Amino acid sequence: MAATEKFAVAIVGVGNMGAGMATRLLSLGWSLHVHDVDAARMSALAGLGAQPAASAAQAVQQAQALIVCVVDAAQSAEVLFGAQGAAPAMQPGQLVMLCPTLAPEETQALASRLAEHGLLVLDAPMSGGPLRARDGSMSLMVAGADQAFTQYGALLNALSSKVFRISERVGDGSRTKLVNNLLAGINLVGAAEALALAQRLGLDPAQTLGVIEQSSGQSWIGSDRMQRALAGDWAPRARMALLEKDTCLAVQAAQGVGFEGPLGLATRDVFAQASAAGLQDLDDAALLTWLQRPT
């Protein structure tokens, strides 16, 4: 197919990020098939022109490429190789984009199984949140064979104006995402700690955040999440449990190569403790309330 040609795409997993990508593709006139365990999510996208499917296998029957946008390796394996899995229903040469944040070895294992079906694989985790997925400005970290990157370039460019070509080695997209998410977690813990301290010092947290945003302590995730936290908005765009998972995976990757930094372990433990305290299904902005608790 031509590099600029549109073709039918399937997305399995249309939660926050998956729905953002789906909306993006539909707005650009792509043919889209979607599957999710939550029927309401499919219905919402059907109203925009997507075709709901009863299973992952059904979703790919008329598609040239599959975007997997679920939570973890177990869900990804079920989508691809379960009882109604997509891989056996796809044709050799078609594409699977693996977008969840996974351990590199998990990504590589899935890619190996997909290769047995003759399928092309792009290790393509994303970052930026649902709004950026919807407007095409999210980051897409892509590793995989040049053939897949070139042949399906139109899809990558439709999804994102920030496509980062990491390498040909599947797993390097996952490695890059883990490094990014570890820093995101460190920055978020730091921002929440700073505002909790500001409040304890008798400062106005909103005013303090305004100062930080124009000063050396600014970070994108700190501003984004702390603005929501100060507004009392805990609707889960990015659940606490996801950064718990991602920072844990990042620390495991670090340990696997014999690296131990001063902040990774502490950050992992903060998210684990906040989740254990009952915040796991809230937006990760709720970390501020956890740090504001009486001690």
pLDDT tens-digit readout, 10-30: 999 999 999 999 999 999 999
Q: Give φ, ψ of 165 to 5 degrees.
A: -85, 105
Domain boundary among 138, 170, 202: 170
Residue 1 lies in a domain: no
**What is the chain's Cα-based Rg?**
20
Predicted confidence at residue 2, as pLDDT, reads 47
As to burial, measured by CB atoms within 10 angstroms (0-12 exposed, 13-18 middle, 19+ buried), residue 217 is: middle
For residue 256, give its domain range.
176-291
* 4 found inside a domain: no
Q: What angle do CA 206, 208, 209 make, to 5 degrees?
A: 65
252 lies in a domain?
A: yes
What's the token pair of residue 60? 């790919």
Classify residue 90: in a domain, yes or no: yes
Residue 293 has pLDDT above 90, yes or no: no
Query: Do 95 and 135 share a domain, yes or no?
Result: yes
Please indicate, yes or no, whether residues 43 and 130 belong to a single structural domain of this protein: yes
- Domain count for the chain: 2
Confidence at 5, pLDDT banded by 50, 70, 90: confident
Q: What is the CATH number of the domain that holds 257?
A: 1.10.1040.10
> Around 30, how many Cα atoms within 13 Å sit in the side-chain half-sphere?
30
Domain end: 129, 154, 170, which one?
170
The pLDDT assigned to 4 comes to 59
Query: What is the C-alpha separation between 141 and 227, in angstroms, rounded?
Result: 27
Judge if 84 and 139 occupy the same domain. yes
Among residues 6, 162, 177, 245, the one annotated as catalytic is 177
Asked if residue 183 and residue 156 are part of one domain, the reply reads no
177 counts as catalytic: yes
Instruction: Examine residue 114 and state whether it is found in any structural domain, yes or no.
Output: yes
| Statement to judge: residues 220 and 93 lie in one domain | no
Q: Which of 148, 170, 192 is the last residue of a domain?
A: 170
Residue 111 identity? A
pTM: 0.92
> Is 46 in the same domain as 149?
yes
Q: Are 59 and 155 part of one and the same domain?
A: yes
For 222-259, the pLDDT digits (tens) are 999 999 999 999 888 889 999 999 999 999 999 999 99
Same domain, 148 and 181: no
Residues 209 and 154 grouped into a single domain:
no
pLDDT 10s digits, 129-172: 899 999 999 999 999 999 999 999 999 999 999 999 999 999 99
The domain that holds 103 is classified in CATH as 3.40.50.720
Examine residue 130 and state whether it is found in any structural domain, yes or no: yes
Judge if 88 and 190 occupy the same domain.
no
pLDDT digits (tens, 9 = 90+) for 163-212: 999 999 999 999 999 999 999 999 999 999 999 999 999 999 999 999 99
CA dist 31 to 62, 87, 196, 205, 228, Å? 10, 20, 47, 46, 34
Asked if residue 13 and residue 111 are part of one domain, the reply reads yes
The 3-state secondary structure of 213-268, one letter per residue: HCCCCCCHHHHHHHHHHHCCCCCCCCEHHHHHHHHHHHHHHHHHCCCCCCCHHHHH
Whether 116 maps to a domain, the answer reads yes
Q: Is residue 3 part of a domain?
A: no
pLDDT digits (tens, 9 = 90+) for 44-88: 999 999 999 999 999 999 999 999 999 999 999 999 999 999 999
* 160 shares a domain with 21: yes
